[in-house]
A = this chain, B = another copy of it.
Amino acid sequence: MAASAARSRRETRGTPSKARADRRPARRARRARAPVTGPAYITRRIPTYELVSAEGLALIETHAERILKEIGIEFRGDEEALRLFREAGAEVKGPRVRFEPGQVRALCGTAPRSFTQVARNPERSVVIGGGNTVFSPAYGAPFVRDLEGGRRYGTLEDFANFVKLAYLSPWLHHSGGTICEPVDIPVNKRHLDMVYAHMRWSDRAFMGSVTAPERAADSIEMCRILFGAGFVEENCVILGNVNVNSPLVYDDVMSGVLRSYAAANQATVVVPFILGGAMGPVTPAGTIAQAHAEALVGVALTQLVRPGAPAIYGNFLSSMSLRSGAPTFGTPEPALAYIAVGQLARRAGLPVRVGGALTASKVADGQAMQESADSMMPAILGGANFILHSAGWLEGGLSMGYEKFVLDCDRLGMLHVFMKGLALDDNAFAMDAFHETGPAEHFLGTAHTMANYETAYYEPPLADCKSFEQWRDEGEKDSLQRASQRWRELLAGYEAPAIDAGVDEALRAFIAERKGAMPDMWH
């Protein structure tokens, strides 16, 4: 993956106009560089799974266009967005915007198929789009959970812990955003501490605030301090995850935040968030068509704000329990949808965010790990480029689990190998080993085995494949108990990446100034 990292740097920093802005992060990066043990991101060497035929995909697109023409979509309280759509030729009546078939897709045409999000350690910059996949931690939980402490509200210390655990994993590529809510910090100030934690305790790419346009602006301003204002103007250094108020509404906060990021040339992840049967039809095809319409309209708005601004076609669909009306995860209907969504995004020429290690389970038990596997694999098969919620998610997103986090990271390592595909070179076919052995003779001692065994198989550290007797004598620990030990060991061994003292001071001064200018708000 060294080649990929190098390429990502070239793409980001190769043009002469950027040379000056580049100096600061490059210098900083040399000091901050942590041992790189995993790839910066995954370059897929497996094909996508073409679940739905081209005719089927065209049918979904047609229904999305019908929704946008016959029903339309509303931008509530955002006159600027309505103005942009009106000028682009859409039919605007009150907050309702309607589009002719093909119109929205054409507006998305200036969005890049792929873009680089630069990390403060340039070896950790990620390319989002095309044949690449980026894993990012879970996002948004108010609670955290660990085996000993149980479930409790998240704090800034928990937040920093998860940033550190993500930094320590060779199989995550991104530091994420609101990994958990630090509810010990006022709601109008915590975005400053969260962005700082990503910048200070990790050297990876990260996400900014989306809870208010001014908080998005603060997030971007902190990036200007870290990377330099000129660099930020020319490069994507932060992502904002913008959820659509499905069905078919963007409120002024969401569209305002989206416009803030786009105007600053930063990336938005546009995410229809649909619980089928509630915020969309109870049948997946209708929900997919709706989500397709909603996502494309959001991407179109980014392009009206600033043509060429990076944007990710996102999607978050879940099914519903017939017993309780609660969202369910790891079920087959969203799995099918995630694969189809990947196909639709490719046809639209946009990077796609879909899937994740999702579960409704309260603890990292069998249900949690199975549901997570079943939510993640369709994203892999569907060619997802950015996978939020790759590690830690519990309880439908209400809780961030320490044990779940490290268990999920182990599986991400396996997916790295899976996405390399099957090697079919002469070494892989091992004909020499067949000649060296013969019928009934074991391969353990062959030259081929000796040359290959250290790299042949991925073995997740938390999986137990010992003999029953050894496992029993070591205390019959299940994977949850082993994970509990593991995250504590990881945190104990954490060392922060270096940061330029002047930059750190400037960041802290900015935060202090912003906090001083606001009263504490707790709701």
Contacts and interface: CB of A to CB of B under 8 A. Distances in A.
Contacts of A364: 366
A398 B467 CA distance: 10
A385 interface: no
A342 to B, nearest CB: 13
A245 interface: yes
A393 to B, nearest CB: 13
A307 interface: no
B457 A320 contact: yes
Interface in A454-481: 454, 456-460, 462-468, 471-472, 476, 478-480
Contacts of A368: 366, 479
Interface residues of A, number: 128
Contacts of A370: 369-370, 372-373, 407, 411
A377 to B, nearest CB: 6
A289 B361 contact: no
B331 A414 contact: yes
Given A285-B422, A286-B429, A464 B367 contact: yes
Interface string A430-472: 1101110111111110101100111011111011111110011
A293 B10 CA distance: 47
A205 interface: no
Interface string A53-65: 0001001100100
Contacts of A349: none
A410 to B, nearest CB: 9
A228 interface: no
Contacts of A446: 281
A422 B281 contact: no
A247 B443 contact: yes
A399 interface: yes
A71 interface: yes
A430 B290 CA distance: 10
Nearest to A403: B366
A517 interface: no
Nearest to A365: B478
Stoichiometry, copies per complex: 2
Interface string A399-422: 100000001000100110110011
A362 B476 contact: yes
B479 A365 contact: yes
A331 B413 CA distance: 10
A485 interface: no
Interface in A275-324: 276-286, 288-290, 319-324
A448 B324 contact: no
A318 to B, nearest CB: 10
A510 B344 CA distance: 62
B247 A440 contact: yes
Contacts of A492: none
Contacts of A417: 331-333
Contacts of A495: none
B429 A333 contact: no
A163 interface: no
Chain B CB within 10 Å — which of A60, A279, A332, A368 has the most?
A332
Nearest to A361: B464
A508 to B, nearest CB: 36
A51 B47 contact: yes
Contact of A51 (B46, B336, B444): B46
Contact of A439 (B248, B286, B395): B248
Given A395-B468, A468-B399, A279 B373 contact: no
Q: Which 4 residue pairs of A and B lie closest in terms of their CB atoms, listed nearest first?
A: A286-B430, A281-B430, A285-B428, A366-B369
27 contacts: A46-B51, A67-B434, A70-B431, A71-B438, A74-B440, A249-B439, A276-B456, A281-B449, A282-B449, A285-B425, A286-B429, A319-B456, A321-B465, A329-B465, A333-B417, A335-B418, A336-B422, A360-B465, A361-B463, A361-B478, A362-B471, A365-B480, A366-B366, A370-B407, A373-B377, A395-B468, A398-B468
Interface of A: 46-47, 49-52, 56, 59-60, 63, 66-67, 70-74, 96, 151, 245, 247-249, 276-286, 288-290, 319-324, 326-333, 335-337, 340, 360-374, 377, 381, 395-396, 398-399, 407, 411, 414-415, 417-418, 421-425, 427-431, 433-435, 437-444, 446, 448-449, 452-454, 456-460, 462-468, 471-472, 476, 478-480, 483
Given A289-B429, A319-B458, 15 more contacts: A49-B49, A49-B381, A71-B434, A279-B443, A281-B448, A281-B449, A285-B425, A320-B457, A328-B465, A331-B458, A361-B463, A366-B478, A367-B464, A373-B377, A374-B377
